[in-house]
Amino acid sequence: MNALNEIYEQHTRRAFLERSTLGLGAFALGSLLSAANEKRRNAVSGLVGLPHFTPKVKRVIYLFQSGGPSQMDLFDYKPHLASRYGEEVPESIYPAERKTTMTSGQKSFRCAPSILKFAQHGQSGVWVSEPQKHLAQVVDDICVIKSMYTEAINHDPAATLFQTGSVNPGRPSMGAWVSYGLGSENSNLPAFVAMTSNGRAKAGQPLYDRLWGAGFLPGRFQGVKFRGQGDPILDLYNPAGVTRAQRRRMLDSLNKLNEEQAGRFNDPAISTRIAQYELAFRMQMSVPELIDVKSEPKHMLEMYGPDAAVPGRYAYNCLLARRLAERGVRFIQLYHRGWDAHGNAPKQVSTQCDGTDQPTAALLRDLKQRGMLDDTLVIWGGEFGRTIYCQGKLTAQNYGRDHHPNCFAYWVAGGGVRKGMTYGETDDYSVNVTENPVHVHDLQATIMHQLGIDHERLTYRYQGRYFRLTDVHGKVVRDILG
Amino acid sequence: MSRLPIIIACVFVEFLPLKAAPLNFSQDIRPILSDSCYNCHGPDKKARKAKLRLDDRSAAMESGVFSDGEMMARLTSNDPEMRMPPPDSNRVLSDEDRSKLVQWLKTGAEWPQDDRHWAFVPPVQPKIPEFQSKWEGNEIDAFILRRLKKEQLTPSTEADKATLIRRVTFDLTGLPPTIQETLAFINDRSPKAYDKVVDRLLASARYGEHMALGWLEASRYADTDGYQNDRLRYMWVWRDWLIKALNDNMPFDRFVTEQMAGDLLTDRNFFTQVATGFNRNHRINSEGGSIPAEWIVEYVADRVETMGTMFLGLTLTCSRCHDHKYDPIAQKDFYRLFAFFNNIAEAGLGPNNGNSPPFVTVPKSWPDLSDEEAKFVVPEPVKIKVVQTSVPRPQSGAPNTVMVLHELNQPRDTYLLNRGQYDQPDKSEKLQPATPPILGTWKNNWPRNRLGLAQWLMDSKHPLTARVTVNRMWQHHFGLGLVKTSENFGVQGEHPTHPELLDWLATEFIRQKWDLKAMHKLIVTSATYRQTSVIKPELLNRDPENRLLARGPRKRLTPYAIRDTALFTSGLLNGQIGGPSVKPYMPPGIWKSISNAAYKQDKGARLYRRSMYTYWRRTIPPPTMMTFNAAEREVCIVRKDLTTTPLQALVLMNNKTFVEAARFLAERALRLRITEPHKRLEWVFHTVLSRNPTQDELEVLVADLNLYLNDFTKRPEDAKKLLMVGDKKVDANLSASELAAYALVISTIFNLDEAITQN
């Protein structure tokens, strides 16, 4: 078969499968194709014409910090604010209508400067607060964005906006868009994996399946949830008492009977189902190997910290993220709960860092040592920031902080992103962005850009409209790209 | 007119008629203009470029672009400055569509005077094509056959009886037929045998349950509020009402009117009041800190969106922030519809668990209410209590309440909201309730409230309601609607494959006094529906989606039917109808892992209820249902893509429900009077698949059985482990190794493509 025919046939085959809604999709189109086609798998399993341009990274690891980490207790250092301790934050700075009803009824809005110590680190001199000891050591590898902002003021809409580009449900998540556009790199694992962990201080705000859902995209593009309890993927393991040999036997019979059925009805859907059973069988083998973190050398487990081998913990998920990245999973989404510090903010932030700082830094180090940081984009941040004014009682040792959408901090690291940089500026109170604002949609556009996707051109027609991740907004933040 | 060159990019993907028909403006040209041009040259005046609009006939004609060569030049130029759509606009105009436009311009750019989009013109009963052969069973077939002839195709033969009864039993009840039912049908030689089956199924209480499912998904029914902590609510009484209304075959106009305005009817009562729960199924935000005014807007907008999708097949939400980009629905039209729903005596923030007002208390005797209990009840008004420092929460309705609609004495003012934002009302004009002008006139005797709105929807001259509804019925039976985009009948929606059939069905529905069961019967007794679903090789390429219906439908079961079938065929199913939701098996920590709530699984018979009663937590919906493409129940969904993934294989092979069902069916097989393994397996096979196995199939299964029996005899502890799966106690009188071996073979049968498919 000549090359042209081959491409044509792959194209038509994919197109046909797509159109007849029987596609194999992001999971494993590769599995249907012969080994000779392996190299072209991307082009085959992703959309034709994608990536739009040469990508800077092959994959994304998004460490979502759910609850709204406090920017002024972590990255947005305001040394001059200490002198304003206890003063009323003027309404000219903080307008009443931007306050949630949890604090809008408060009689006073006293200024609560961070009591956590800050220092400059690395050659770049990026300011980092004390609880982030490990991150401080790798700060030359990251780019801190101090000027993120959003419109949403409550957890649910704000997190949904970050993950799907809209505050309303029903849209595909970022990972789903990526797996729809680019397809899979691995024929034994899904293209998009989601993992969750609970906060150390408090379990934290709930998460929702829609954050890694497929929305209106076909269901196969949704993130596959790796679980910390029971089977790592739902129903992965054979029932007790059933051996792998028996399962193989069952699949052989199943294939035989299904093929007879396919012969009777001529329906390609049956062949698709046969292929998916084979993929399920391979996943039963590949996932236990994948999650066997105990096979990692001792020093590696130590680097990620004491929770590295405890399923469901943030450290374990970070280590798993690297193992997934190694195996070609394209979009790895972690969610860590517990950042919603309405009261006891300094303590809560510190305790959260105890559980996350070391594994996060370890992940960056680990990727770098393996040369993978160059083609991986790592993102850290939550759904919004927190108020400079105190929620509840203010003391010299304690304060609480309400939700704050107007400015907050993120950091990004890896392929194509400038290192040791601090981007954007906020006002004296860390209330508003004063320089280089970065909206949620801008960050999304930038993530897509690094993957070789023009966020305006990756669209999906639904209800007669061409939807995209960034709605009708979003500008790539070129300033932070190298 | 000269023939168009047919550009076949790919014979697999595009269904193309054999002969190119002359270009028709509404069918061939406007969809292209809409898709490629309206974004900048359409109804939205704020987005309009170069003052050119191509959605309005006279404006387009006056602009002169058709005749002065400008449009032709812009279509054919390769100069990026000149070419339309601009290369940087992200609008794609395929070569094929471009040449269609060129052809249209060349032949005089004909644009008929009455250029209304087809779906906005009220349907008129078309003439039924003359019956041409014995094949046609009813009027539907006359339309289908005419089109097939035009395409030079022939219909397929009728499916065999076993296949047919399985197909229709699934479609009308969501469950397979029993062996007795299948055999009785096969042995009934009377010409009315099939009609008798259909009548029996339509009379079955299972009919109402199964038909309720699509309505539950579309009306985003759930047991929780859907935001953040996802607090629980109690709406099952409304679900009971729904099942009963469908089983009673309540005329569809009454069915809709009670749900839209059961509180405003002159003959209102407790039941019609419960029916209005339909418009309270939307999500309600109870997150502390939420701004109440913001969320009331969301609830009202959700009602408009749901009404738009379910009854009008229109994407009204597009007009929430600006004039619709494609359809003639102005932003003001949206807020005039909004005004109908903006007078509910509700709170912006939900309570911490429980129903949000307005709600009514359900008598203990539900659904058998006394005359006194069946009277309309005035709900208690909203009582706000401020908790924490300032979170304003309403009173919470207890488990014996259900949420309903109730009007405020003093209606809220409605204004257009700039960009759809609650805090940006355009106070220059107060908007009164009204319907979009393009969708027909408003009769003066209709009240300007939800009751009037329901009368408008169900008016026999309404262009959309009947069409949209029969199209969804068609989708239910054939997998795809006559209009594939069942959620969008607007300009950007797909044209019907059989426009006259659609109009005939719509007008017939009205003529039959909105009789749902009669319409279902009409469809399933058609010869079209009864064809075999075997795909002839030439059809596979020609019409892979079966849009022309030269064969019968072949489709995967719904997620609900997949689980229900395992329970039903195994004998585990608890057939109780209605009542509160139940909590069957879930994976460990299903809620706890990502939320602050814990799932407390039910015990005993409640584990085996039909899947429609499974507790629906919106933010963490039941995973087995989601794996098989259920709607999330967050917003109105009337169509889901069915995709095949390895996760589905894992569920059917390993999920507790399916493993337990296989074992339980094995127990029944071993208790049969027959003892030969192949006969037992024959019985199992027929129970699950409604047909006898072939010799080959049986040989495969018997060989497996022997092998597994050998395995488990050697490893009796493994047999015991397998039998321990599930709460149902094992029959200790049966041999464990034999039982385990049968269970594995039955699991194989449960996993067959055929087991989750309607052939």
**What residue of A is the nearest CA neighbor of B626?**
A219
**What residue of B is the nearest CA neighbor of A20?**
B545
Give CA separation, B247 vs A416, B202, B260, B267, B367, in Å: 62, 8, 19, 21, 14
pLDDT of residue A29: 35
**What residue of A is the nearest CA neighbor of B494?**
A464
Q: 246-265 in A: which are within 8 Å (CB) of B?
A: 246-247, 249-250, 253-254, 256-258, 260-262, 264-265
pTM for this entry? 0.91
Spatial neighbors of B46 by CB under 8 A, at least 6 apart, are: B322, B323
- Chain A contact for B598, CB < 8 A? no
**Are the beta carbons of A246 and B700 separated by less than 8 Å?**
no
**Are the beta carbons of A220 and B721 separated by less than 8 Å?**
no
Residue bearing the bigger pLDDT, B288 or A318:
A318
Query: B10 to chain A nearest CA, in Å?
Result: 7
- Chain B contact for A105, CB < 8 A? yes
pLDDT class of A111 with cuts at 50, 70, 90: very high
Residue A406 clears pLDDT 90, i.e. is over it: yes
- Strand, helix or coil for residue B116: coil
Q: 499-558 in B: which are within 8 Å (CB) of A?
A: 533-537, 540, 544-545, 554, 556
B626 and B648 Cβ atoms separated by less than 8 Å: no
Through-space distance between the first and last CA atoms of chain A, rounded to whole angstroms: 43
**Are the beta carbons of A279 and B646 separated by less than 8 Å?**
yes
**Are the beta carbons of B292 and A22 separated by less than 8 Å?**
no
Residues of B in contact with A472 (CB under 8 A): none
**What residue of B is the nearest CA neighbor of A266?**
B535
**Are the beta carbons of B654 and A235 separated by less than 8 Å?**
yes
- Strand, helix or coil for residue B89: helix
**Are the beta carbons of B653 and A246 separated by less than 8 Å?**
no
Between A153, A206, A260, which is nearest B596 by CB? A206
**Are the beta carbons of A266 and B536 separated by less than 8 Å?**
yes
Mutate to test the interface with A, among B637, B653, B758 (most CBs of A within 10 A): B653
Residue A200 clears pLDDT 90, i.e. is over it: no
**What residue of B is the nearest CA neighbor of A239?**
B654
Between B13, B627, B718, which is nearest A16 by CB? B13
Q: Tell me: the pLDDT tens digits for A18-76?
A: 333 333 333 433 333 333 333 233 333 788 889 999 999 999 999 999 999 999 999 99
- Measured from the Cβ of residue B641, the count of other Cβ atoms closer than 10 Å reads 14
- Chain A contact for B384, CB < 8 A? no
- Chain B contact for A103, CB < 8 A? yes
Query: B9 to chain A nearest CA, in Å?
Result: 9
**Are the beta carbons of B596 and A203 separated by less than 8 Å?**
yes
pLDDT of residue A10: 40
**What residue of B is the nearest CA neighbor of A99?**
B289
**Are the beta carbons of A254 and B751 separated by less than 8 Å?**
yes
Query: A479 to chain B nearest CA, in Å?
Result: 23
Residues of A in contact with B485 (CB under 8 A): 463-464
- Chain B contact for A155, CB < 8 A? yes
**What residue of B is the nearest CA neighbor of A311?**
B593
**Are the beta carbons of A209 and B626 separated by less than 8 Å?**
yes
Residue bearing the bigger pLDDT, A432 or B89:
A432
Nearest one of A333, A435, A429 to A386, comparing CA atoms: A429
- Profile chain B (759 residues) by mean pLDDT over runs of 10 residues: 37 40 84 90 90 91 90 90 86 89 91 92 96 93 97 96 98 98 97 97 98 98 95 97 98 98 98 98 92 94 97 95 92 98 96 96 97 97 82 94 96 95 95 96 96 98 98 98 96 95 98 98 98 92 94 96 98 98 95 92 98 97 96 93 91 98 98 95 98 97 98 98 97 96 98 96
Share of chain A above pLDDT 70, in %: 91
- Strand, helix or coil for residue B138: coil
pLDDT of residue A187: 79
Return the bridge partners of B555, or none. B758
**Are the beta carbons of B753 and A247 separated by less than 8 Å?**
no
- Chain B contact for A66, CB < 8 A? no
Query: A77 to chain B nearest CA, in Å?
Result: 27
- SS (HEC) of chain A: CCHHHHHHHHHHHHHHHHHCCCCCHHHCHHHHCCHHHHHHHHHHHCCCCCCCCCCCCCEEEEEEECCCCCHHHCCCCCHHHHHHCCCECCCCCCCHHHCCCCCCCCCCCEECCCCCCEEEECCCCEEEECCCHHHHHCHHHEEEEEEEECCCCCHHHHHHHHHHCCCCCCCCCHHHHHHHHHCCCCCCCCCEEEEEECCCCCCCCCCCHHHHCCCCCCHHHCCEEECCCCCCCCCCCCCCCCCHHHHHHHHHHHHHHHHHHHHHHCCHHHHHHHHHHHHHHHHHHHHHHHHCHHHCCHHHHHHHCCCCCCCCCHHHHHHHHHHHHHCCCCEEEEEECCCCCCCCHHHHHHHHHHHHHHHHHHHHHHHHHCCCHHHEEEEEECCCEECCECECCCCCCCCECCEECCCEEEEEEECCECCCEEECEECCCCCCEEECCEEHHHHHHHHHHHCCCCCCCCCEEECCEEECCCCCCCCCCHHHEC
